[in-house]
Amino acid sequence: MDDMYRDYILDHYKNPRNSGDLPGATNTYHDTNPLCGDEITMALLIEDDKVKDVRFKGRGCAISQASASILTEEIKGKSLDEVKAIDRQHVLENLGIPISPARTKCALLGLKTVKGAAWGLSEWPGDANTAGIASGKE
């Protein structure tokens, strides 16, 4: 069973969904994982309190990039409240394989950037290392 999920992760890594720029994005958020150098910028187009469109740009390991790709597929069309309610356990379960403690930050970087954009944050509360960009175009 793990092989099927590994193939799923590799497919999202090699063929990321919703990757690239999002002209007209209403909210964006960028963050990095300082431990490994992974980075993701998440851009949302929000209309009527729903995610009308989403794109991400990033670089890093297969786990961080696949997790962001999977998450973008899931949030398109959802309300901001639904997006804000997604938790770490949900993201880890979506990956379908055990994630070591050292790789957890990689797996959750996409969630952090989605939530930063959904909340319209300019930086993550209590995180001095965050370089966030929110509520505007990059």
Domain boundaries, the chain: 2-119
Residue by residue, DSSP assigns 44-80 as EEEETTEEEEEEEEEES-HHHHHHHHHHHHHHTT-BH
Can you tell me the mean pLDDT for 107-127? 92
Can you tell me the mean pLDDT for 69-98? 96
**Mean pLDDT for all residues in the chain:** 90
Question: Would you place residue 128 in the very low, low, confident or very high pLDDT band (cuts 50, 70, 90)?
Answer: low
Can you tell me the mean pLDDT for 114-135? 74
Of all residues in the chain, the percent with pLDDT exceeding 90 is: 78
Q: Is 2-119 assigned to CATH 3.90.1010.10?
A: yes
**Is the model's pLDDT at 56 over the cut of 50?**
yes
By CB atoms closer than 10 A (0-12, 13-18, 19+), residue 31 is: buried
Q: What is the pTM of this model?
A: 0.87
